[in-house]
């Protein structure tokens, strides 16, 4: 341990000792903590943008599903890593979390591709009707829900859409989780 003070000046042992002693971390537990913290922050950010008036499209809502499943599952991993009986269950669960976020990353990349016009999006992401064609159609048009377009980003952050950022975040959470699951 590093000793600070006048007595440590010139002491070779004090110079070789690490300044901070960091215990060896459990990668499964670290991955679960990261998923809970980063995942919760990401979902909270999506909800805040929604409160600010940025309505999510159907693909945006689908991209939240891995978070809704992965965050509680990562919390279960945190509970199971406290037990000393075995390491298989936490590793299997964090692996499942990694697969969930890999699915989320692929869905987000698909959505970003739709926004960049690389391919067509699903049919339920089309624009709502332009308006009633006759007076009788006025009530019918009021009952129709206006859909948010999936092919136009509502907001760009540092040049990337929220779907593209979600692809990056989901891929990172997947990589951390799968690495922890596969480490021995």
Which residues share a beta bridge with 160?
A: 157
Q: Within a 13 Å sphere around the CA of 17, how many CA atoms are in the beta-carbon half?
A: 12
Checking if the pLDDT of 2 tops 50, the result is no
The tens digit of pLDDT for each residue in 90-143 reads 999 999 999 999 999 999 999 999 998 888 888 777 654 444 555 556 556 555
Q: What is the value of pTM for the model shown?
A: 0.74
Whole-number Å distance between alpha carbons of 125 and 157: 22
Checking if the pLDDT of 171 tops 60, the result is yes
Name 90's Cβ contacts closer than 8 Å, sequence gap at least 6.
28, 29, 32, 77, 80, 81
Contact call for residues 150 and 61 (beta carbons, < 8 A): no
């Amino acid at each position: 341990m590093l000793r600070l003070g006048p007595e440590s000046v010139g002491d070779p042992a004090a110079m070789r000792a690490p300044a901070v002693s960091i215990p060896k971390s459990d990668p499964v537990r670290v991955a679960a903590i990261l998923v809970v913290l980063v995942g919760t922050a990401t979902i909270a950010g999506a909800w805040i943008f929604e409160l600010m008036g940025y309505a999510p499209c159907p693909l945006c809502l689908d991209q939240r599903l891995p978070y809704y499943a992965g965050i509680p599952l990562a919390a279960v991993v945190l509970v199971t890593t406290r037990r000393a009986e075995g390491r298989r269950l936490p590793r299997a669960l964090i692996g499942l979390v990694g697969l969930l976020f890999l699915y989320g990353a692929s869905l987000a990349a698909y959505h970003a591709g739709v926004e960049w016009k690389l391919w067509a999006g699903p049919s339920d992401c089309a624009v709502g009707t332009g308006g009633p064609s006759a007076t009788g159609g006025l009530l019918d048009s009021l009952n129709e829900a206006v859909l948010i377009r999936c092919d136009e980003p509502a907001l760009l952050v540092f040049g990337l859409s929220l779907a593209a950022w979600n692809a990056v975040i989901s891929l990172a959470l997947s990589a951390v989780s799968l690495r922890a699951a596969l480490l021995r």
